[in-house]
Structure 1
Amino acid sequence: MFSKFYLIHILFSVGILDLYPSVLSYTDEVYESHELLTSGWDVRCKLQPNSWLCYRNLTSVVYRYYYDIAVKACKTFPYGGCALNFNGFRTSAECNSLCFTTEKLTPTKLKEISMNVSCRLQPDFGSCFGYFPSFYYDISTRTCKGFSYSGCGGNANRFANNMDCMDTCESLLPRYREVRPRRRKKRERTLHITFNYSIL
């Protein structure tokens, strides 16, 4: 079992929480990340990169690297500041060092993960030669999009229609909220004065 302090340490090590100290208290993002952290890099490197704009005060577009399972290489994506961004790296070298060998992941292991994780996986064409129009949940747009499925292999982020996709994944993933620095509330101080009316 991972402690909360260990989860924070891991989040720092992958460069997720360093820009946003307001997330450092134990928010829903940290609690919800436990299953993703314990899934291993072989699963996390197959997650979608998260481009949802959580931090609206960014003065310029920040690009990071993610592992793309379709081309089996690390590519750039616009990083919007969301805390849960496990397939996101500062450099191409870091991405390659952690994800380049993840093709050893077996389909059996992918079937063992929950839908909470599966809904974040990149759409996977599979390993056959068929053509089946399908839908996957896109975490950057919070909608379901179409893609082609070959008929075998792939992962659980695959649905026959848009309705099944939204019904399954929309409720599982937390609503992202804008990350802003927390303001300290001014404490109202009350002066308590005790009068001693006793007569000596």
Structure 2
Amino acid sequence: MADIENPVVATDRGKVQGIAAGGAGGAVSFRGIPYAASPVGELRFAAPRPHPGWTGVRRIQSLTAAGVLDLLAAQAGDRAREIYDAYAARLPQGTPAQIFTAIGTDALFRDGSLQIADHHATHVYEFDYRPAEDPHSLGAAHCVELPFLFNTFDAYPDSPMLGRVGDSQRALGHGFGTAVAEFVRTGSVHDWLPYAPATPARIRHFA
């Protein structure tokens, strides 16, 4: 029998199963779908390559630790266990799927940025804001900082990435926008030290 609430959809790379957000007939979220081959090793700064695909049904929400290790081994070889354990220590309450998502997020968005920052005088930030009410477990979403930077909250009145917008969100946006504007204008920020290699304390967090 088909699972109406958590449907399986066939893509040209393999099958994926979604997660129903509000029961049958509601929105369905498909998470953890790789849109390209992992940008690691010789692919770090290369143009995106097609993902080789997978067999069976990809159920990111039901991944086990062993399943994550199998996926990591294909990308990181003998370092799979070391990588998994490091992220599991950072996310002690995280499920294997959440740990795998964190690893993939850093590989796609964080690691390469820091490699570039290691060789240039620049400032590095992480926009860690996540809505207080987060029923879809989106966390700190990619590009969520844009409404804060441009003060365009009103354009997204029902955005699950933003949640309820009040004085604290607008204050965060003002502080973030002020720092960005000062950097654009002067090349530095008076209360923000430039990034230094392997110095996480120099990364400014906005949350």
TM-score over 0.5 for the pair: no
Normalized per residue, the structure richer in helix is 2
TM class by smaller structure: under 0.3
Higher Cα Rg, which structure: 1
Higher relative contact order (CA 8 A, sep 6+): 1
Q: TM-score, normalised by structure 1?
A: 0.24
Normalized per residue, the structure richer in strand is 1
